[in-house]
Amino acid sequence: MKLAVIILSDPKAGEEAFGRAFNALATAQEAQKAGDQVEINFIGTGTRWPAEITKPGNALNALYNSVRESVKAGSCGCASAFGATDGLKACGIPEARDNAVAGTPGLLSLRKYLADGWQVLVF
């Protein structure tokens, strides 16, 4: 299976957002263990997550580190809009800009995953 895990929730939004990020990473970990091809991407306010979950004291840190090899990118335009560009860079996460959208530096394309037969889960 090819699985694209998309994290859209905002870490500033409380426990529901935490639950979404937790389940996204747990699903990615389960898929990795099953031998699936997994790519994790951060879009929208979700581009704020890497700066938070890479902190050693964060409750998601160990889980994140277990799937870090599957982290593909953060959406460039989203990171720019939500003040997360520096956080992505500090975490070593590339910015995706393969979806040209007017007025932005480009966004991550979700369509490319669908066109290539990936299962896409948005959290």
How many residues in the chain?
Answer: 123
Whole-prediction pTM value?
0.96
Per-position pLDDT tens, the chain of length 123 = 999 999 999 999 999 999 999 999 999 999 999 999 999 999 999 999 999 999 999 999 999 999 999 999 999 999 999 999 999 999 999 999 999 999 999 999 999 999 999 999 999
What is the extent of the structural domain holding 60?
Answer: 8-34+45-117
In a domain, 113, yes or no: yes
Buried (b) or exposed (e) across 56-75, using 16+ Cβ within 10 A?
eebebeebbeebbebbebbb
In a domain, 105, yes or no: yes
Total domains present in the chain: 1
In a domain, 39, yes or no: no
In a domain, 40, yes or no: no
In a domain, 91, yes or no: yes
Closest C-alpha to 75, from 53, 46, 102:
46
In a domain, 110, yes or no: yes
